[in-house]
Amino acid sequence: MDRVRKGRPGVRQRIGAAIAVGAAAALAVTGLAAPAQSADAGAAGAKAADVNVAKNAGFESDLSNWTCTANSGAAVSSPVHGGTKALRATPSGQNNAECSQIVSVKPNSTYKMSSWVQGSYAYLGARGTGTTDVSTWTPGNSAWQQLSTSFTTGANTTSVTVYTHGWYGQSAYYVDDVSVLGPDGGGGTDPVEIPAVPAGLKAGTTTSTSVDLSWTPVSTATGYTIYRDGTKVASAGGASTTITGLTPETTYNFQVSATNAAGESAKSTAVSVRTPKGSGGGDGGTVPKHALTGYWQNFDNGATVQKLRDVSSQYDIIAVSFADATATPGQITFNLDPAVGYSSTADFKADIAAKRAAGKSVILSVGGEKGTISVNSDASATAFANSAYALMQEYGFDGVDIDLENGLNPTYMTKALRQLSAKAGSKMVLTMAPQTIDMQSTSGGYFQTALNVKDILTVVNMQYYNSGSMLGCDGKVYSQGSVDFLTALACIQLEGGLDPSQVGIGVPASTRGAGSGYVAPSVVNNALDCLTRGTGCGSFKPSKTYPELRGAMTWSTNWDATAGSTWSNSVGPKVHSLP
């Protein structure tokens, strides 16, 4: 969100229409450039002599054998997919941070190429194949994701350049465990053996719909495959994962195998898990059926400075912005800014208590545009849960809002939120505020997290601004600032697994509240009517209505007050009168 402290710009540049439409075009081009022989056929025909012809494929020897443009790459110890190191490459200006290696190949041969990537936009490709050069890409993910493609060499081709790169002006991407599997072209290979069978598989926190699994890491593994009753259900980059979508009061048997470029190990000894009876958690405490959410600024950036007592009574959930990071990974704290006018912390706590006594929920927002909080390990997940719960107890917060705009690890954030929920109880209010790009697909880290914690989640208020154009659930591109943009993108969440009561529409309270994407309150109200009643729609009309839709959100209560509370006085009554 455009929630920055005084003196920092309030406009966050986004990828917009160029990425949404350009990415689709890039995919189309990649599809047209398919190799002469399919990757599946190449894999099926692989013989024992097939090797990974890429050298230093896991970057354990830093950048040996690799060349990165403009010194854009470096070997790092975290995050890693396998081993102890991975590649981190950072685009800048007109440099897309390409890192490449020339590998020795045999003519007229098929090679299956793959790598694990994380972070921002990442590409994997091969050129100089002598036939059709290939590439594949991903728009980014906070968890490790595998890219794969294949190519066939020409009659006289003895070397090929394999490469990975990011995208101009985007943030860093990470690469690990590159594989170019095929006949040895004379250059040899790094020694790789099939990993050992994972040991120590055990179940952790188990709810009516999910279970945490962990096992002892295998040193030569680059990934793990999880099986439920003999069927593959998930992959993991590390030695733990959370399996969701389970049925209450049901017994399941889980196994795990280890994988690397050489292949997959046998399955581990099974562990049996029985899910408990559903408890109906995630009721949101005192949050009404239809709720209005507003972010309160704990800083002065030119908007009206408010105390919590000044926030309009139209708001049902007030998100205090923001928590601060500490030197301990995952740990958060809260520092009341003197600029907002409180004479003491006790006075602030009294305002929280008064709002709660009036039936409102006051939560602590974690993140923001400049947020640096990172939860990417078991230790940081526990640190997050412990510190968040301590702040809830100290200040009287009803819960937390997750607004991490610089990446989110679904595995460990899920663990953190479940630990926090176990401490706080079923009335904890849990909200999220992802950007539009984060909720385009259920494969994204934010969407995965929301689905992982669906049983304790109150509402996802996606930011329908600072976005540019995006795809709707019908596959069409919609421009921000219209009723169609709000309804067609909300449809992705409504049809992607979230309950309608867990979906809200997030917009700026005024033209000054965001760099772009402001819509008049009347447009928000039309979108609410379209989704809940089937009226007020634009060219996009959902196939059904969602009368349980939670409501709407705005950044911020301060910008709303600056504009004379026009937004809350218009949208608030509409939300509270929804079916």
Element housing 390 (H / E):
helix 378-395
Tokens (6 digits) for 440: 């385009």
Measured from the Cβ of residue 221, the count of other Cβ atoms closer than 10 Å reads: 24
Q: What whole-number distance in Å separates Cα of residue 224 and Cα of residue 217?
A: 9
C-beta separation of 274 from 211 below 8 A:
no
pLDDT value at position 263? Answer: 65
273: left (phi over 0), alpha (psi -120 to 50) or beta: beta
How far is residue 218 from each of residues 236, 268, 573, measured CA to CA in Å?
13, 12, 57
Q: What whole-number distance in Å separates Cα of residue 419 and Cα of residue 13?
A: 34
C-beta separation of 367 from 332 below 8 A:
no
**Catalytic-role residue among 60, 193, 405, 548:** 405
Tokens (6 digits) for 534: 């089937």
pLDDT value at position 261? Answer: 65
> If you write DSSP's letter for every residue of 201-216 in order, what string do you get?
-EEEEE-SS-EEEE--
pLDDT value at position 370? Answer: 62
Q: How far apart are the first and last CA of the chain?
A: 29
pLDDT value at position 296? Answer: 98
pLDDT value at position 169? Answer: 86
What are 271-319's pLDDT values in tens digits?
Answer: 999 987 644 333 335 799 999 999 999 999 999 999 999 999 999 999 9
| Lookup result for tokens 């540049």 | 13
Q: What whole-number distance in Å separates Cα of residue 5 and Cα of residue 402?
A: 18
What are 351-364's pLDDT values in tens digits?
Answer: 999 999 899 999 99
Count of positions (residues) in the chain: 579
How far is residue 11 from each of residues 42, 121, 173, 228, 410, measured CA to CA in Å?
48, 22, 24, 46, 27
DSSP conformational letter for 78: S
CA 369 to chain centre: 15
pLDDT value at position 25? Answer: 35
59: left (phi over 0), alpha (psi -120 to 50) or beta: left
Look up 495 and say whether it is catalytic: no
Q: What whole-number distance in Å separates Cα of residue 309 and Cα of residue 306?
A: 8
HEC assignment per residue over 327-343:
CCCCCEECCCCHHHCCC
Partner residues linked to 211 by β-bridges: 206, 243
| Lookup result for tokens 């007020």 | 536
Provide CB contacts within 8 A for 28, sequence distance 6+: none
Q: What whole-number distance in Å separates Cα of residue 239 and Cα of residue 1?
A: 33
pLDDT value at position 192? Answer: 58
Provide CB contacts within 8 A for 251, sequence distance 6+: 272, 273, 274
335 burial type by CB count under 10 A (0-12 exposed, 13-18 middle, 19+ buried): exposed
Tokens (6 digits) for 314: 């139209």
SS3 137: strand
pLDDT in tens, the chain (579 residues): 544 433 323 333 333 433 343 433 333 333 333 333 333 333 334 444 688 899 988 888 899 999 999 999 999 989 988 767 899 999 998 999 999 999 999 999 999 999 999 999 999 999 999 999 999 999 988 889 999 999 999 999 999 999 999 999 899 999 998 999 999 998 877 655 678 899 999 998 777 667 889 999 998 888 999 999 998 888 898 999 888 777 777 899 999 999 886 667 889 999 999 987 644 333 335 799 999 999 999 999 999 999 999 999 999 999 999 999 999 999 999 999 999 999 999 999 999 999 998 999 999 999 876 667 889 999 999 999 999 999 998 899 999 999 987 778 999 999 999 999 998 888 899 999 999 999 999 999 999 999 999 999 999 999 999 998 999 999 999 999 999 999 999 999 999 999 999 999 999 999 999 999 999 999 999 999 999 999 999 999 999 999 999 999 999 999 999 999 999 999 999 999 999
C-beta separation of 324 from 333 below 8 A:
yes
